[in-house]
Structure 1
């Protein structure tokens, strides 16, 4: 018996292309990427005996998403009498011995008992932590079958690990693919390379609601309406593009050419010069910002940065001295008195900052009318241009002292400006 299954044309090649180990599906709401990922996996399970692992961050979310999709597809393919679908625990078994197992990263101990996994699907992979992704790579092993990992997601912030790993990571200074190129071409293949410092052997696929011919017009109209009341969500949901996802911490942040920044600083009548430093070593960074305040206009300029990790204090001191910072006053993190004492012994004019809360510091930065950053400060731009507040998952309200990333340059700003007030509580200018 032959079963005819109608699919969206934009996904036809994807369904039968198994040439790349990694297959990344990025798209907007209603694009049908998850459906076609489930269909592709079902066809593979029917074709050859495999143990397939389907993963989401939270196990219970499978029931109304991936598990439901597989159940629908098996019914549509008229396989319900041959394929066993178990709901507790969620598992699907095929006549040839293939099985699909569902797991959540919130219960990692459940992953350890599964052997010979040759295919993994990470649904909503941006919600999974990067450490979880790397752990799952280690679970992907089979003595004879080729290995595959399918990842599907709505695009989120460019600070998310998915963008950094599969597109661009400015900190690690590697470039895999320009996301704008994917939006234009829709499908791109990065072939496997034996020696490469960047990820390869990847099939990229981009989709939007326009690629789903089965969607009603009313649904697309709802997506279009988002543009008027939530442009960030419209970019994600309708256009399927990476970018800012949430409320910006510094909406007044802007970038100018370095020469223009220096020319504007030179024209300030009474410039206030400030330097701030945030300490780091292994996972975090030593970040130093050189700043100038135009007090009359309430503008902040950022014109030079130092941003490195894995540096011992003596090497950092040597490099800061080479930058001419030894005789400049530097305000640094008050939680590191020993480090500050060391820099003082080296002849630096370094002092502990005041003990203000993260909320107080953030509110102070938001009082600047403009924050103008030199285009030479690439790490400052990367951290602050799209810095957003975290949200409480229960209430959807923003958390005023938590952000989507750990912004070391933002901390350096706080420390350097600890004794400067943009305005008093009553609104009068500070001295």
Structure 2
């Protein structure tokens, strides 16, 4: 019999093996990693299994997961039943169970791992999505039930962990509203167990540590949300905070109600890692609202194949303003009946075009434009090494934003700061 004091919020989790996937997200110091290591040790003491513990970088195991397992074995007083061996790093059990440690920075070494029935991915948000899917393929055993445990601090909603386990706008996948998890703390959806925790759940933390977390609210709201509240969100400064998603029918209804709508179409070219992105947008010049109501978004497409798929533009002769960096492609489309011209590009045009779009009071995007939503709703500015914003650079390469730049090439949004000055009438003295 083993007697061990644990945090109450983790008691059920320690002995819950009902779901294949177990996803734990929480703030700093919540003890999710500690209780996961304890959970794995207890399981392997009970059953002969081989467990694989993974981090993105192999060497980070030594001072984190490996050290944690060694501490727990010592605390439990089970040194005769389990031993932490430092070179090479592994944990071996008297009953034949073992824990091996791998890093995704050397994926070739994963190929030699066999009969794994339990995988723990620590700091899973740092592992690439392709790596996660590769690990699922490594989870196989002829007899044992299979388990994968994932632990992480929440990061941006653009991270694969959020899109896989909660919501993915691009692929129209909805699994669980993260706000529901924050409220319930524990949830089960299908074959996945969810667990949310914060530092308040760790009764062994000193008050001084909690104060440090609370102090973050004043100087780093993003880190406070992650570290103290344990919640996903948008990290950094959003480029388009006025961006909203709206049902397609409502977008079209509002566009039809505009007395003099200005409709524009823009195209950004791409092939391998980039994308051919086409967006149709409508401007309400009176309200200064921008509506995005149609998109095309594909890569690895030659110009002739793209022309076939966009043939309606050749038929209607709808004007497309396109990326001026691709004159050869523009000429190809023109020769195939498209009304396509190059947008302007000049020194500082990225910044000026971005500022132009930011001047719209509201930007409404049809819920059918999944890729536009995927790129623009969470879009944030890149920063330099000192944390200063780069106003013409972003954390991703947003092809739909480039398409919008070109679409609005010949339209200027009134600078709202200048409007009061424009509206003032100069005082004039009347002469006789």
Same fold (TM over 0.5): yes
Name 1:407's counterpart in structure 2: 398
Aligned partners of 2:414 and 2:58: how far apart in 1? 49
Name 1:159's counterpart in structure 2: 158
Name 1:318's counterpart in structure 2: 311
- Answer yes or no: is the 8 Å Cα contact 2:26–2:153 preserved in 1: yes
- How many matched pairs? 408
- Answer yes or no: is the 8 Å Cα contact 1:250–1:385 preserved in 2: yes
Q: In the superposition, relative to structure 1, how do residues 371 and 139 fare at CA in structure 2: closer, same or farther (>3 Å)?
A: farther
Q: What is the CA-CA distance between 1:385 and the residue it aligns to?
A: 2.0
Name 1:195's counterpart in structure 2: none
Structure 2 unmatched ranges of 5 or more: 422-432
Name 1:235's counterpart in structure 2: 225
Name 2:430's counterpart in structure 1: none
- Answer yes or no: is the 8 Å Cα contact 1:284–1:408 preserved in 2: yes
Q: What is the CA-CA distance between 1:223 and the residue it aligns to?
A: 2.0
Q: What is the CA-CA distance between 1:124 and the residue it aligns to?
A: 0.8
Name 1:381's counterpart in structure 2: 373
Q: Deviations over 1:143-201 (max 9, x none)?
A: 2111111011111122111111111222222211121221122111123xxxxxxxxx1
Mean CA deviation greater in 394-403 or 54-63? 394-403
Asked whether 1:416 is paired with 2:383, we answer: no
User: What is the correspondence of 1:307-386 to structure 2 with a 5 Å cutoff?
Assistant: 307-309=296-298, 312-320=305-313, 326-334=316-324, 336-337=326-327, 339-355=329-345, 360-362=349-351, 364-366=353-355, 368-370=358-360, 372-376=362-366, 378-379=369-370, 380-386=372-378
Q: Report SS of the residue matched to 2:33.
A: helix
User: What is the correspondence of 1:141-290 to structure 2 with a 5 Å cutoff?
Assistant: 141-191=140-190, 201-251=191-241, 253=243, 258=251, 262=255, 266=259, 274-279=264-269, 285-290=275-280
Q: In the superposition, relative to structure 1, how do residues 105 and 315 fare at CA in structure 2: closer, same or farther (>3 Å)?
A: same
Aligned partners of 1:40 and 1:134: how far apart in 2? 23
Q: CA RMSD in A?
A: 3.2
Asked whether 1:35 is paired with 2:26, we answer: no
Name 1:306's counterpart in structure 2: 295
TM-score normalised by length of structure 1: 0.83
TM-score normalised by length of structure 2: 0.83
- Answer yes or no: is the 8 Å Cα contact 2:80–2:94 preserved in 1: no
Larger Rg: 2
- Answer yes or no: is the 8 Å Cα contact 1:116–1:140 preserved in 2: yes
- Answer yes or no: is the 8 Å Cα contact 1:249–1:366 preserved in 2: no
Aligned partners of 1:396 and 1:125: how far apart in 2? 25
Structure 1 unmatched ranges of 5 or more: 192-200
Aligned partners of 2:168 and 2:158: how far apart in 1? 9
